Amino acid sequence: MSKLLVKAQQGEGRVAHVTPQNAGWTYVGFDLHRLAAGQTVSMDTGSREACLVFVTGKGKTTAGGEDLGELGERMSPFEGKPWSVYVPQNSSWLVTATTDVELAVCTAPGLGGGLPVRVIRPDALGQETRGRGTNTRYVTNILPEGEPADSLLVVEVITPGGHTSSYPPHKHDRDNLPAESYLEETYYHRINPPQGFAFQRVYTDADANGVRDLDEVMAVEDGDVVLVPKGYHPCAACHGYDLYYLNVMAGPKRTWKFHNAPEHEWLMKP
């Protein structure tokens, strides 16, 4: 199995766990907690900021000493926009599930920005349609670079069955602004119906001898996480199965500037 594929665990509790240490990188952390009604999860952020995303379900939430009330709304990631909470570094948060909950915890280094806790409501989220034809997908910007945070960029995408996504292939693995930014990235995948699967390839440019130092193709199932430390990273949703993914990105500078694979850039022409 690819070292870039983190398989979904069954049951309740923390079912996915990505840290800079176990991923072998510097910035991005990602946890997925699956709670039954009445169960609680909490954390101190320490030197890292966090974005809590209610992938599904509802929970009573406190953060930074504030009672934020019951948050969450949708019961499927394929239905509507999420509720989320931004929690700065040197703070804490707690969620008590009032229904079954799937809570994503996205983290990255805090930079001492002194930002407050804030609830990110569904009605405040921008949405856009990208691509055309069988490359059409639907994007919800949870924590884009135009909204306050120190390091985190968070977005979710719905890709209909039979469509491609993160395509034409692009990468963001060089700190070479303004042309390209260095960003680590995780993809948390969900499939509808859940017995399906999708594909994701993570690969780098070939050298003069046609050799790539990274080239992994993964069949992703419901709940899997894919690590993207570098390289291009397109996805394909199989016919009959819609694909949801939640992206977490972070790097030395909080901006998303990507480089398209030149051999596929013709696909972007009218």
Asked if 244 and 78 count as a contact pair (C-beta separation under 8 A), the reply is yes
Helix or strand holding residue 97 (H, E): strand 92-97
Q: Give 14's contacts (C-beta < 8 A, 6+ positions apart).
A: 31, 32, 33, 41
Per-residue pLDDT of the chain (270 residues; tens, 9 = 90+): 889 999 989 889 999 999 999 999 999 999 999 999 999 999 999 999 999 999 999 999 999 999 999 999 999 999 999 999 999 999 999 999 999 999 999 999 999 878 999 999 999 999 999 999 999 999 999 999 999 999 999 999 999 999 999 999 999 999 999 999 999 999 999 999 999 999 999 999 998 888 999 999 999 999 999 999 999 999 999 999 999 999 999 999 999 999 999 999 999 887
Positive or negative torsion for Cα 168, 169, 173, 176: negative
pLDDT at 261: 93
pLDDT at 157: 98
pLDDT at 269: 84
Residue 105 has what DSSP assignment?
Answer: E
pLDDT at 1: 81
Q: 265: helix, coil or strand?
A: helix
The β-bridge partners of 150 are none
Of 153, 202, 137, 199, whose CA–CA distance to 173 is shortest?
202
Whole-number Cα distances in Å, 19 to 28, 31, 175, 184, 233: 7, 8, 21, 12, 20
User: Do the bridges between strand 13-18 and strand 48-56 make them parallel or antiparallel, or are there none, so unpaired?
Assistant: unpaired
pLDDT at 133: 95
pLDDT at 184: 98
Which tens digits make up the pLDDT trace of 84-119?
Answer: 999 999 999 999 999 999 999 999 999 987 899 999
Q: Which domains does the chain have, with CATH numbers?
A: 11-268 (2.60.120.10)
User: Do the bridges between strand 242-250 and strand 164-165 make them parallel or antiparallel, or are there none, so unpaired?
Assistant: unpaired
pLDDT at 270: 78
Quickly count: other Cβ atoms within 10 Å of residue 262's Cβ: 9
pLDDT at 223: 97
Q: 7: helix, coil or strand?
A: coil
pLDDT at 8: 86
